[in-house]
C-alpha cells in the first residue's frame, strides 16, 4: 500500500532531559502526517464539517523503537487502511532520514458522527465518494461498511 510522506526536523524544545525526542511529540508528528495526506484530498476537519460530519479519534496506539536527537530529520509516512467498518484507521511510521531506521510506529482510529452527535455505522454514500480519491491514491477501495 502506498503512503504519504512528510518531513520533520527535531526542534530543541522537542527533546527531553536525556537529549532524545519526548515520546508525546511523535503523536503530534503523526497528526502533521495525517493532515498533510488529508489536505491533498480536501478531507480536512472543516471539509468533514462542511459535509455535516465529524470524525473524532477514538483509539491511538504508538510503539517506540529508536530514539531521535535534536536537529535530526524524521520522515513521517502515513497511510489509511481500507475501511471494514464505518471508521478510518491511519497507520504511521516515523523513520530517521539519515539511516532509514524506524523510530516509532502508530495507529489511530476515527469514527464518524453527524454534527448532532449521531454515530454512523455505515459510511454514507456522499462520504464514500469523497473518500474514494484518497483510497485510489493509496491503492485501496472504500468498502460498503
Partner 1 sequence: MPEDLILELKKLIIQTLKLEEITPENIEDDGALFGDGLGLDSIDALELVVALEKVYRVVIPDSAVGERVFRSVKTLAQFVMENSSAGGVRAAKAS
Give the rounded distance of the alpha carbon of 53 from its chain centre: 18
Count of other CB atoms within 10 angstroms of residue 28: 10
Count of other CB atoms within 10 angstroms of residue 125: 9
Distance of closest approach, residue 89 Cβ to partner 1, in angstroms: 11
- Residue 115 to residue 111: CA distance in whole angstroms: 13
Distance of closest approach, residue 78 Cβ to partner 1, in angstroms: 22
Please confirm, yes or no, whether 47 is among the known catalytic residues. Answer: no
Q: Given candidates 6, 82, 109, 128, which one binds partner 1 under the rule CB under 8 A? A: 109
Element (H, E) at 104: strand 102-111
Which range, of 5-13, 80-88, 93-101, 129-137, touches partner 1 by CB under 8 A?
80-88
> Using the rule CB under 8 A, is 87 a contact of partner 1?
yes
Structural contact between residues 53 and 5, judged by C-beta atoms closer than 8 angstroms: no
Residue ranges in 110-139 that form contacts with partner 1 under rule CB under 8 A: 111, 114, 118-122
Write out the three cell numbers for 32.
502533521
> Using the rule CB under 8 A, is 141 a contact of partner 1?
no
Active site residues: 16
- Please report, as ranges, the residues that interact with partner 1 according to CB under 8 A: 58-59, 84-87, 109, 111, 114, 118-122, 145
Amino acid at each position: 500500500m502506498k503512503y504519504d510522506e512528510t518531513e520533520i526536523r527535531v526542534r530543541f524544545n522537542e527533546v527531553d532531559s536525556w537529549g532524545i525526542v519526548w515520546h508525546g511529540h511523535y503523536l503530534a508528528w503523526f497528526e502533521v502526517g495525517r493532515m498533510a495526506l488529508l489536505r491533498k484530498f480536501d478531507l480536512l476537519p472543516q471539509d468533514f464539517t462542511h459535509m455535516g460530519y465529524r470524525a473524532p479519534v477514538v483509539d491511538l496506539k504508538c510503539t517506540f523503537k529508536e530514539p531521535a536527537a535534536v536537529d535530526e530529520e524524521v520522515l513521517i509516512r502515513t497511510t489509511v487502511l481500507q475501511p471494514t467498518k464505518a471508521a478510518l484507521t491511519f497507520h504511521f511510521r516515523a523513520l530517521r532520514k539519515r539511516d532509514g531506521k524506524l523510530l516509532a510506529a502508530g495507529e489511530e482510529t476515527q469514527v464518524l458522527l453527524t454534527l448532532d452527535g449521531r454515530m454512523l455505522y455505515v459510511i454514507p454514500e456522499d462520504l464514500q465518494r469523497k473518500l474514494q480519491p484518497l483510497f485510489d491514491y493509496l491503492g485501496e477501495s472504500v468498502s460498503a461498511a
